[in-house]
Amino acid sequence: LLIESAELRVLELPLRFAFETSFGVMRRRYVPLLTLHAQGHEGYAEGVMDYLPLYREETVPGALAFLERQLLPRVLGRAYPHPQALAAELASYRGNRMARAMLEMAAWDLWAKALDLPLWQVLGGNGSSVAVGVSLGIQRDVAATLDLLAQSVDAGYQRVKLKIKPGWDEVPVAAAREAYPDLPLTVDANSAYTLADLSALQRLDAYHLKYIEQPLAFDDLLDHAALQREIRTPICLDESITSAQDARKALGIGAGRVINLKVARVGGHFEARRIHDVTQAFGAAMWCGGMLETGVGRAHNIHLSTLENFVFPGDTSSASRYWQRDIIREPLEVSGGWMPVPQGPGIGVTLDHGVIDEVTRSVTTVRA
């Protein structure tokens, strides 16, 4: 694997809906899109960091500077026997896992294309489609929540997740549960609570949620362990898990029983695989999260979701929910709650350069 050159773009893509979470309202994404060139093949990946450090610490401007000035000059023109060797080299840097993941994931796409195999096969997965649910943002009121919920159920999604925050938790959850007594239902707080909110979180135990995602601080494990001892509903960790070491510690101290794995949050496919294996060894459940990705990141997530221990439906819902026009040519659409796995080489999707050129805000080329 010898990467000859790289192109780094920033795209500005308006979302089809305002996505409200406990940390803010997202109306558009600034998407760093990386293309790697090697031996006539192209590898693609996108960054999932926000423009501002609202979900975790990383930012788009920080990632661009790190990639352009450090990561890409370091790896271009050097031969790696396998993407794992590249991942090992990137492991010398602390944090910045979303930026590292861009390079690492694009390298896996290249590698799989050089082998003429779909990425899922190279990663060791199985299956031609993956189970998916949907993540619904905080709505204006209960009626709007129930409306969106009905659309999601009608679309066949196998699980619905409601975003919550203090003051907007039991009311929408109770309404959702009343309308759909048997629907697999979850909530995601994106770190909006503290242990002082114990009683509000305990009240959610009454609604047989599959899990409560990331109730406490983004970098916490200990308080989550204390909370898990006080509630019956399993805790699912998202923000708090950035590595296999984090997963080992979290599951070891009982900070949760479920992991939301986002390959682009943890540094790429190699670390994702290690987290998958640690989680499986603990007998814990996991599923594939999302970060409102374009088709490029979505395709990576779909391939990853074919690994054995992804036992709960992922957040990888239909691309057409998010984008008027996606940046890839292939539709990534869910049917009956199942997302088909693209079967071409690598991530199995191709770029729509017409759309990309229209939404490109900056382009940088780096050569060996």
Binds Mg ion (CB under 5 A): choice among 58, 104, 169, 238: 238
Nearer to ligand OSB, 274 or 298 (CB): 298
Whether 262 is catalytic is yes
Q: How far is the CB of 236 from Mg ion (least distance, A)?
A: 8
Contact between 50 and Mg ion (CB under 5 A)? Answer: no
Cα–Cα distance list, 108 to 36, 105, 127, 190, 354 (Å)? 10, 5, 19, 29, 25
The residues with which 21 forms a beta bridge, in sequence order, are 24
Binds ligand OSB (CB under 6 A): choice among 22, 59, 96, 135: 135
Among 84, 68, 88, 81, CA closest to 10: 68
Binds ligand OSB (CB under 6 A): choice among 60, 86, 90, 292: 292
* 3-class DSSP state of 50: strand
Among 188, 187, 229, 232, CA closest to 206: 232
Lay out the site mask for Mg ion across 197-236 (x = CB under 5 A, - = otherwise): ----------------x-----------------------
Q: How far is the CB of 55 from ligand OSB (least distance, A)?
A: 5
Q: Which amino acid is at 154?
A: D
Nearer to ligand OSB, 209 or 291 (CB): 291
Nearer to Mg ion, 1 or 288 (CB): 288
Report 158-197 residues binding ligand OSB (CB under 6 A). Answer: 188, 190
Separation between Cα atoms, residue 181 and residue 272, nearest integer Å: 34
Whether 163 is catalytic is yes
Q: What is the 3 state secondary structure string of 85-140?
A: HHHHHHCCCCCCHHHHHHHHHHHHHHHHHHHCCEHHHHHCCCCCEEEECEEECCCC
Single out the segment in contact with ligand OSB by CB under 6 A; choices: 82-90, 290-298, 327-335, 348-356.
290-298
Binding site for Mg ion (CB under 5 A): 188, 213, 238
Binding site for ligand OSB (CB under 6 A): 55, 135, 188, 190, 238, 289-292, 315, 317
